[in-house]
Amino acid sequence: MSLHVVIGFGPAGAATARLLAEQGHTVRVVTRSGRSAEPGVEHLALDATDGRRLAEAARGATAIHQCAAPPYHRWADEWPPLVSSVCAAAEETGAVLVLLGNLYAYGPVEGPLTEAMPLAATGTKGRVRAAGWETARRLHREGRIKAVEVRASDFFGPGVTDGGHLAGRVVPPLLRGKPVSTLGDPDAPHSWTYLPDVARALAEVAGEERAWGRAWHVPTGPALSVREMAGLLAAQAGTAPATVRRLPPALLGAASLFSPLLRELKEVRYQFDRPFVVDSSAYEAEFAVRATPVDEQVKATVDWWRERLATPR
């Protein structure tokens, strides 16, 4: 099989690296700190913003999967050099550049999100993500690199412990039979992208030349509100019916004075205050990956969290 380089080993990078290894590929993971090797996966300590060293690490690779993300409050400063470096490595090596994107670049929209919508974000984080993709797409059009972006909504599933509203914010309290607190409207429909489906899409488009040169939405199940998802998770866990409470805006405002994350979330609060629905039909019309059925997502997530919470740390 072929060599795939995965940048970043957060939930998406780890899931992608391990899936590619299961598929028989040679996998090299790049992170600043490195890690011990695991079956089928080599770990390399390297700053991915160093384009020369990254290109050396990716020499001979079929694809470079960019799954890394700077700390939330440093996106404006750290995304541009990261994008510049991975594009330079893709140009030097000829590897397909597979970018993991999100939905911030669209900004607030009316109706379901599609890939045909303009990247019209007004906030800093949305603009920096849009600029990163525009850079890669321009280089692709110029024939200098081969690039594709795969965009996901909020992750959840095995391996996801922070970020999003179905990770550490919801599942652990539910498993303990406690109420759940959430940002925004708990009854607004919201699209949740299952982490294993993210990995499968990233792996699939790397080998599909007809996917390159544009962005695609990861196949994502039907939009469900936080309250609905909490109910499904509680039912699977066999705990008391889920009690979901909206955090008062005044409390959030006060907490943001002490929490950099909450301050940064102000930019994307619109995603949780009203319906936020992803249309992934374009991907599904062209490629094989489909969203995992919701009941399977819920079962796997509850099982994973139960094991995690039962394991001494």
Question: In this structure, what token pair is assigned to residue 124?
Answer: 């800093």
Kindly tell me if the per-residue pLDDT of 25 is higher than 90.
Answer: yes
Kindly tell me if the per-residue pLDDT of 252 is higher than 90.
Answer: no
Higher-confidence position of 170 and 118: 118
CB 65 within 8 A of CB 49: no
Res. 37 pLDDT band, cuts 50 70 90: confident
**Domains of the chain, with CATH numbers?**
3-157+192-220+278-286 (3.40.50.720), 171-187+224-276+294-310 (no CATH)
Instruction: Indicate the range of 178-192, 233-247, 254-268 predicted with least confidence.
Output: 254-268
Whole-number percent of the chain with pLDDT over 70: 92
Kindly tell me if the per-residue pLDDT of 236 is higher than 60.
Answer: yes
Instruction: Indicate the range of 135-144, 190-199, 249-258, 299-308 predicted with least confidence.
Output: 249-258
pLDDT (average), residues 213-231: 96
pLDDT, averaged across the chain: 92
Question: In this structure, what token pair is assigned to residue 127?
Answer: 């603009």
Question: In this structure, what token pair is assigned to residue 200?
Answer: 């499968």
Kindly tell me if the per-residue pLDDT of 7 is higher than 90.
Answer: yes
Kindly tell me if the per-residue pLDDT of 251 is higher than 60.
Answer: no
Which of 164, 165, 183, 187 has its CA nearest to residue 174? 165
For 118, counting Cβ atoms within 10 Å of its Cβ (0-12 exposed, 13-18 middle, 19+ buried), the class is exposed
Name 193's bridge partners: 155
* DSSP string for residues in 252-265: HHHHHTT-HHHHHH
pLDDT (average), residues 30-43: 93
pLDDT digits (tens, 9 = 90+) for 82-96: 999 999 999 999 999
C-alpha span between 85 and 251 (Å, rounded): 40
Q: What is the pLDDT of residue 269?
A: 82
Kindly tell me if the per-residue pLDDT of 29 is higher than 90.
Answer: yes
Kindly tell me if the per-residue pLDDT of 185 is higher than 70.
Answer: yes
Q: What is the pLDDT of residue 118?
A: 97
Kindly tell me if the per-residue pLDDT of 126 is higher than 60.
Answer: yes
Question: In this structure, what token pair is assigned to residue 82?
Answer: 């990261």
Q: What is the pLDDT of residue 40?
A: 92
Please say whether the dihedral angle defined by the alpha carbons of residues 158, 159, 160 and 162, taken in this order, is positive or negative.
positive
Which position has the token pair 């990254």? Answer: 54
Res. 218 pLDDT band, cuts 50 70 90: very high
Q: What is the pLDDT of residue 289?
A: 98
Question: Which ranges constitute the DSSP H helices of the chain?
Answer: 11-22, 51-57, 75-93, 124-141, 171-175, 195-206, 226-237, 249-256, 260-265, 270-273, 281-286, 294-310
Kindly tell me if the per-residue pLDDT of 6 is higher than 90.
Answer: yes
Res. 256 pLDDT band, cuts 50 70 90: low
C-alpha span between 143 and 7 (Å, rounded): 23
Amino acid identity at 298: V
Res. 242 pLDDT band, cuts 50 70 90: confident
Q: What is the pLDDT of residue 175?
A: 87
**223: phi then psi, degrees, rounded to nearest 5:** -65, 135
**pTM, two decimal places:** 0.94
Res. 171 pLDDT band, cuts 50 70 90: confident
